[in-house]
Amino acid sequence: MGAMQAPLHGVRVLELGSTIAGPSAGRHLADLGAEVIKVEQPEGDQLRTWGELAPDGTSWWFKSHNRNKQLVTFDLRAPDDVATVRRLALSCDVVLENFRPGWLEERGLGPLALRAQKPELIYVSISGYGQTGPYANRPGYGNIAEAMGGLRYITGEPDGPPMRVGISIADELGGLYAVIGVLAALHARSRDGRGERVDVSLIESTFSLMQATLPEYVHCGRVTERTGNRYLRAAPNSVYPTRDGGWLAIGGNSQSIFRRLVTLMGTPEVADDPRFATNQTRAANAPELDALIAAWTKTLDLAEANGALAAAGVPAGPVMSIEAIAADPHFRARGAVTSVPDDDGAAVATYGAVPRLSEHPLRLERAAGRLGRDQAAVLRALDAPAPERAAPGSAGALAPTSIAT
């Protein structure tokens, strides 16, 4: 029996996105096997210049973030290019964009215009505030969404300022929600043949992760504040210092796990202390409990403490830098740290595809590369009669092509 095709083999996506959120969604769809055509303006995606640059002048981040895609270049301010992009859009199953609301509509590339010609088209928009509402037309980036969506308010030390998470998490969340929308729309279309308008807001993507904060405020009047590493609703659940200067995350929330933890610490009586007897009392007395645990972890080196906790069945893990992750045997064994070739065959470090599927494996084929790399191949496929087109995701459709732009 031959190798199974990727789950989204045969699905064609036009990505009119830039920087992080839209291209993140496109990356996940490409990993799932969709043929993703990424349109860049003549000056190229901004992400090409963000962070450390490869010898060819393109950022390593861009090469990894836009893997598995066909790269084309069109000027969306030029009528002839817009006409070609419209033809491309109408040849696709999905259009994915993260422009300011209304910008593509002004050029005849909005959902109403395209779906009037192709009702089964799935049109996905990612924006700061969504396509409707009082703030819809405001410019919005991920950092604004993290602030207004509540995440930064609760992140940081109690006596310090609001803090950002170390990555652009709102953009990545927006990309994931866009993928969820595409998958739902594709499934619905398989039933009724109808396309869909998918509206993803970065502020709502962030707000959707705020867990207990909304119901506890509405029903109890509780405003969640910053607590540093302390988790308000379960304990113990924090990071603890070790003798050799490391940090170890420990989660001993359930009764059975907590009892195993304190037994390992040599203080089994702590499990019967009224301050720590239930999760609610442990959470209320978390500073005292954390001090007891830290006093124990500081007597051990990181590897020693982590090994002892694993043997005792207590969830724990070291706080790992990217240097440690890149060398970790588990990440490597599962392919979470991997690489894809660039245009010249050199390896570009990248993240493994998520999730894992047993019957329809995801694909990692090549890194993003030169601006307009696949222009000729994409235009040939657009002009060819449908039966002669290269199959989505095939080697012919993805063959690198160098052209002048």
- pLDDT at 363 (0 to 100): 85
Overall domain count for the chain: 2
In this predicted structure, the answer to whether residue 3 has a pLDDT above a threshold of 80 is: no
CATH code: domain of residue 313: 3.30.1540.10
Residues 308 and 349 in one domain: no
Which range has the worst mean pLDDT, 121-130, 355-364, 386-395? 386-395
Is the domain of 77 the same as that of 152? yes
Instruction: Give the pLDDT score at 303.
Output: 97
The verdict on pTM exceeding 0.75 is yes
Report d(CA 94, CA 193) in Å as an integer.
14
Residue 2 has pLDDT above 80, yes or no: no
- Residues 130 and 201 both lie in one domain: yes
Does any domain span residue 202? Answer: yes
Given 278, 294, 318, the domain boundary residue is 318
Model confidence band, residue 386 (pLDDT cutoffs 50, 70, 90):
low
Q: Tell me the CATH number at 365.
A: 3.40.50.10540
Catalytic residue among 31, 45, 93, 171: 171
Report in angstroms the alpha-carbon separations of 261 from 32, 201, 341: 41, 42, 45
Residue finishing a domain among 298, 318, 338: 318
| Residue 97 reports pLDDT greater than 60 | yes
The answer to whether residue 266 scores a pLDDT higher than 80 is yes
pLDDT the model gives residue 216: 96
pLDDT at position 230: 87
- Encode pLDDT of 230-239 as tens digits: 888 999 999 9
| Residue 255 belongs to domain spanning | 237-241+247-318
171 is catalytic: yes
Q: Say whether pLDDT at 391 is over 60.
A: no
Q: What is the mean pLDDT of the chain?
A: 93
> Is 218 among the domain residues?
no
Mean of pLDDT values over 361-382: 95
Per-residue pLDDT, 360: 93
pLDDT at 392: 35
